[in-house]
């Protein structure tokens, strides 16, 4: 879908919302690339690592879920910000690996975090673009609705979805859960969003038999996928990203009237290091403007942007004019240009597996 910059997505603005803090939680189990050499061979592992940039990833235990990681992140964030549980008006959980088909994981987390009964809680089923969509949803809840504080929990335990025999996915993904605190603030600078979708890409990144539509029999590649495993057509996803992300970034800069050279950072969804460097070159970004941590954590889907900030620590607290952009499964994409007036909390937390 090769479209002009002005048609990449819907342009939207949000007022009166401040980003107060981010905590990202990862399992303490680190899996390096060497463990794949017996299965795939050292040469293949080295080539995949060179292309994706992934050297290691965090892997959750069998009984550890995205909700567990996000809960740990939220507890630390609430404690560090000194937010009383009854001051949180809404909780939004963004993930494609929830605890159950029903009830919504956000409802369970409302109870586990001991938030008040007046707290709205709901799930959003999005992956790679999910964090930016979640920021937009949380911000719109605050902007003009009477809601003052929102917890955005975003993450995925994608390693539970990959076929260990599929080197295209087994070596790419990692697990993480995150918590972001947003609050009403009349003095906050406006945020500018661009959101878009091309659902014709659904079959290129999919778990084809995980819910109620159990197969796509006309597609031989999908019909061969084992039940409940993730399928990814890497070439198609790569091509979509290369043609879609630069105009996405350019459009959000156009509507926010910012120059890319003046941004302190562009925080990309950590999909593939080779791809990100190619996009950064097309956008004329300086190396210090686009941090990468996929080498240490893999592709963590909806958690990747907040995990990227958390892994930067104090450097993230110093970020000011930034762009965040997520893109992938759906196909779905989103970007936001915002001014960060100093995060009060930006922590990386390890959780026992």
Residue 147 structure tokens: 């809601």
Residue 299 known to be catalytic: yes
- The residues, any chain, with a CB within 8 Å of residue 285's CB and separated by 6 or more, are 260, 266
Residue 18 structure tokens: 């401040």
Helix (H/G/I), strand (E/B), else coil: 293? coil
Find tokens 């941090």 and name the residue: 291
Catalytic-labelled residue, pool 204, 269, 272, 346: 269
- The residues, any chain, with a CB within 8 Å of residue 316's CB and separated by 6 or more, are 22, 309, 310, 343, 346
- Residue 76 belongs to what H/E stretch? helix 66-81
- Residue 325 belongs to what H/E stretch? strand 321-328
Find tokens 């790679």 and name the residue: 128
Find the angle CA(96)-CA(47)-CA(326) to the nearest 5 degrees. 30
Residue 269 known to be catalytic: yes
Catalytic-labelled residue, pool 128, 265, 272, 346: 128
Catalytic-labelled residue, pool 33, 204, 293, 299: 299
Catalytic site residues? 128, 269, 299
């Amino acid at each position: 879908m090769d479209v002009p910059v002005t048609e990449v997505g819907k342009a939207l603005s949000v007022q009166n919302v401040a980003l107060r803090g981010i905590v990202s939680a990862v399992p303490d189990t680190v899996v390096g690339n060497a463990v794949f050499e017996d299965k795939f061979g050292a040469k293949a592992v080295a080539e995949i690592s060179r292309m994706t940039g992934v050297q290691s990833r965090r892997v959750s235990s069998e009984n550890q879920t995205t909700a567990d990681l996000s809960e740990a992140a939220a507890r630390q964030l609430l404690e560090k910000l000194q937010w009383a549980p009854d001051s949180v008006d809404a909780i939004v959980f963004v993930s494609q690996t929830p605890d159950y088909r029903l009830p919504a994981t956000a409802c369970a987390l409302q109870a586990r975090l001991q938030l008040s009964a007046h707290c709205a809680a709901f799930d959003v089923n999005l992956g790679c673009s999910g964090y930016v969509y979640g920021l937009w949803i949380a911000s719109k809840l605050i902007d003009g609705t009477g809601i003052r504080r929102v917890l955005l929990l975003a993450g995925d335990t994608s390693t539970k979805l990959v076929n260990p025999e599929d080197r295209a996915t087994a070596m790419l993904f990692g697990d993480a859960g995150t918590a972001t605190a947003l609050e009403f603030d009349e003095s906050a600078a406006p945020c500018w969003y661009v959101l878009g979708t091309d659902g014709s890409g659904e079959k290129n990144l999919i778990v084809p038999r995980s819910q109620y539509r159990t197969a796509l029999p006309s597609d031989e590649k999908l019909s061969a996928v084992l039940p409940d495993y993730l399928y990814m057509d890497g070439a198609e996803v790569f091509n979509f990203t290369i043609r879609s992300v630069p105009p996405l970034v350019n459009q959000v800069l156009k509507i926010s009237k910012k120059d890319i050279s003046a941004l302190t950072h562009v925080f990309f969804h950590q999909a593939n290091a080779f791809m990100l460097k190619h996009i950064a070159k097309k956008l004329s970004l300086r190396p210090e403007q686009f941090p990468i941590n996929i080498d240490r954590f893999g592709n963590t889907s909806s958690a990747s942007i907040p995990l990227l900030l958390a892994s930067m620590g104090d450097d993230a607290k110093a970020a000011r004019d930034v762009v965040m952009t997520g893109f992938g499964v759906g196909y779905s994409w989103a970007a936001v240009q915002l001014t960060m007036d100093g995060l009060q909390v930006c922590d990386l937390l390890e959780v026992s597996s």
